[in-house]
Amino acid sequence: MEIHIHLYPMTTIVLVRKKNDVVVASDGQVSMGNTVIKSNANKVRKIEKRNVIAGFAGSTADALTLFERLEAKLEKHAGNLTRAAVELAKDWRTDKYLRRLEALMAIGDKEKSFIISGTGDVLEPEGDVIGIGSGGNYALAAAKVLMDTELNAEEVAKKAIKVAADICVFTNDNIRIEKI
């Protein structure tokens, strides 16, 4: 089965799991078409109470709506990230309002990492790195190479975003980090 994930433009998110650390990093650029609107946006969030981190690619309003929904699902399912992710994806795919939201999420806790899409996908990629957004594949490739070094998870994520920023015009190197 082939899985097609639309790479939402204008951002780079990377999630890295190494040793006991889990880090999600993003660039800070917000663009409209070919114009940079903001260079220091925060596209990563942490749910302190549940020790979950998330990064978003796509529309800001849509991403924030989905983050709030994820938070509610985590509360409803006592912090079970797998169950919360599946329920969010199910709602996202079937709800008339949510179905129109255009975003992609990379989420993780101490045990698992997922990509959640509006098509109902809840993907648990192989390996310890996730990359999403227009620069996601560049960051993913860089992070995979860096995983075999002595760098820690945060250093891997930062360097991966910097590589993506050098290649993707919709990505800058104003990096935001959340970790657990």
| Catalytic residue list | 11
CA distances from 25 to 28, 80, 126, 157, 175 (A): 10, 23, 19, 6, 7
Distance CA 18, CA 148 (A): 10
- Phi, psi (degrees; rounded to nearest 5) at 164: -60, -40
Q: How far is CA 153 from CA 11, 17, 83, 175, in A?
A: 20, 6, 26, 14
Residues 6+ apart with CB under 8 A from 82: 112, 114
Amino acid at 47: I
What DSSP designation does 120 have? S
Strand 35-38 vs strand 44-47: parallel, antiparallel, or unpaired? unpaired
